[in-house]
A and B are shown apart, each in its own frame.
Chain A
Amino acid sequence: MTSRQQGRRAVVTGLGVVAPNGVGADAFWKATRQGVSVLDRISRDGCTELPLRIAGQVRDFDPQAVIDSRYLVQTDRFTHYAMAAADLAVADAGFHPDAEQPYAVGVVTAAGSGGGEFGQRELQQLWGQGPQFVGPYQSIAWFYAASTGQISIRGGYKGPCGVVASDEAGGLDALAHAARAIQRGTDAVVAGAAEAPLAPYSMVCQLGYPELSLADRPDRAYLPFTAQACGFAPAEGGAMLLLEDEQAARRRGAPVRAHLAGHGATFTGASRWEESREGLAAAIRIALADARTAAEDIDVVFADALGVPAADRAEAFALADALGPYAERVPVTAPKTGIGRAYCGAPLLDVAAAVLAMEDGVLPPTPNVTEACHDIALVTGRARPAELRTALVLSRGLMGSNAALVLRRGEGS
């Protein structure tokens, strides 16, 4: 990544996951490795009578138990997930920020839609009762930047903070943004994304996406790379990472879990899936060059796997364009078929899975999918052991962003 200060490199030292298939990296990885599918009918109040029926809902998360009561009142569910994931990441890293150095820690999140549930509640107050009945926290809770702000304030992290609003692929761009902050001199950045799109207003907004799956069977709703592909099932949740300067991590004796080795991002226009072939291939090439990595060094690809035939075809072609003949051999997986796509949170969950897969030496499978109809080596059925040193994570957004991230396995402590 560009404008490096000599020797400064971003590494992952902590993972915080709030996902439909588990809260906490251990529960998430256990379910992901087993290929469990938790896609199911949406059961949340107000959400059960809409044409969108199947999604990945976070069920093992009790906000009352983990979120301070003031934030339950003042923030939306997407911020509850982000705050909880940030706490988990910081704890996972054994990180204790130096109170004397508040500017050494920053926060970067990506957001695709902000706090729809909170916003809907207050807007109903507005037209139902009048402006004087709108709560003042509406002014901060529904904005894209709410999670970054709350994590920063609560943790006392006064270093570079930001929010990346660049579509689903923004999840990967947020990590690149955080890595640049580290290269420029910040010691640690809490970075990632979590979303909460399963609320009535948010769901109605999604109904406008032609790529959304309206299937009513959980095992048929999201089948990328197959002849039965009928769109994607959405999900909520996401992951936050603790990223640190490698030397700072080593100084405090923290195990280096993974290196953020390279990133590339391109834009090819909303729902232009055929063009995304070129954009995604370019993003992969940029990321590989950034990581100084050859195509053959990639041990696993975490695919974007949109589940729309034209998009799936474009992704398979993009891999062939960027990786050459090796594209037919490199293991490709899409664990998100078991949990759905959590918008900006989706690529973060893939990054978390990639780090855990490299540590465990296991390729997690693609739930519900039995056979790919494209020339890719999709991991289906069961997880299988593999020596994984380098992972490529891909993400595309419905609005046209494409991104690729290269992760390299850490060396531990």
Chain B
Amino acid sequence: MRNTLSYPELAALIQARAGVTVDPVDLERPGSDFDEFGVDSLGLLGVVGELENRHGFKVTAGAESAKTPAEFLELVNTSLTKAGA
């Protein structure tokens, strides 16, 4: 994995783990939040689990409660940096 999670990768994970189809462009749009896409915290928890299982690092606790894609990416990518990925 590259050293950051991208919006297209996040969109693909949301599709797989929460069953919700979202356009990466919409995820990236300033001010967008998970509520408007119908992605709940259980869906984000599934995304977190998938990232951790796939790449063997620990995502900061609480990332699944992020309100916006930007906030979620920030938390995941900070965790990645700390893990030295």
Q: Spell out A's residues near B (CB within 8 Å).
A: 68-74, 132-133, 135-137, 139-140
Contact = CB atoms under 8 A, between A and B. Distances in A.
Interface string B41-85: 011011001001100000000000000000000000000000000
6 contacts: A71-B19, A73-B17, A74-B43, A132-B52, A136-B42, A137-B46
A132 B53 contact: yes
A279 to B, nearest CB: 41
Contact of B18 (A73, A133, A139, A140): A73
Name which of A70, A71, A72 has the most chain B CB atoms within 10 A of its CB.
Answer: A70
Interface residues on B, range: 10 to 19
A70 B21 CA distance: 8
A132 B18 contact: no
Interface string B12-43: 00011111110000000000000000100011
Instruction: Tell me the dominant secondary structure on chain A's binding face.
Output: helix
A257 to B, nearest CB: 34
A86 B42 CA distance: 24
Nearest to A129: B53
Interface of B: 15-21, 38, 42-43, 45-46, 49, 52-53
A70 B52 contact: no
B49 A74 contact: no
A136 B20 CA distance: 15
B20 to A, nearest CB: 5
A24 to B, nearest CB: 25
B53 A137 contact: no
B39 to A, nearest CB: 9
Contacts of A71: 19
Name which of B19, B49, B52 has the most chain A CB atoms within 10 A of its CB.
Answer: B19
A79 to B, nearest CB: 13
A150 B42 CA distance: 14
B19 A70 contact: yes
Instruction: Tell me the dominant secondary structure on chain B's binding face.
Output: helix
A156 to B, nearest CB: 13
Given A73-B16, A73-B17, A74-B19, 19 more contacts: A68-B19, A69-B19, A69-B20, A69-B21, A70-B18, A70-B19, A71-B19, A73-B19, A74-B18, A74-B42, A74-B43, A132-B49, A132-B52, A133-B53, A135-B17, A135-B46, A136-B45, A136-B49, A137-B46
Nearest to A130: B53
Given A69-B21, A73-B17, A74-B18, A139 B42 contact: yes
Contacts of B21: 69
Contacts of B20: 69-70
Contacts of B45: 136
A140 B43 CA distance: 12
A136 B42 CA distance: 6
B53 to A, nearest CB: 6
A69 B37 CA distance: 13
Contacts of A68: 19
Contact of B38 (A70, A72, A133, A140): A70
B1 to A, nearest CB: 17
B61 to A, nearest CB: 14
A97 B65 CA distance: 32
A46 B59 CA distance: 36
A10 B43 CA distance: 38
Contacts of B17: 73, 135
Contacts of B43: 74, 136
Nearest to B21: A69
Nearest to A140: B42
Nearest to A133: B53
Nearest to B52: A132
Nearest to B20: A70
Contacts of A72: 19
Contacts of A73: 16-19
Contacts of A135: 17, 46, 49
A139 B16 CA distance: 18
A135 B64 CA distance: 13
A133 B49 contact: yes
A139 B53 CA distance: 19
B27 to A, nearest CB: 16
A122 to B, nearest CB: 11
Name which of A73, A133, A136 has the most chain B CB atoms within 10 A of its CB.
Answer: A136
A371 B53 CA distance: 60
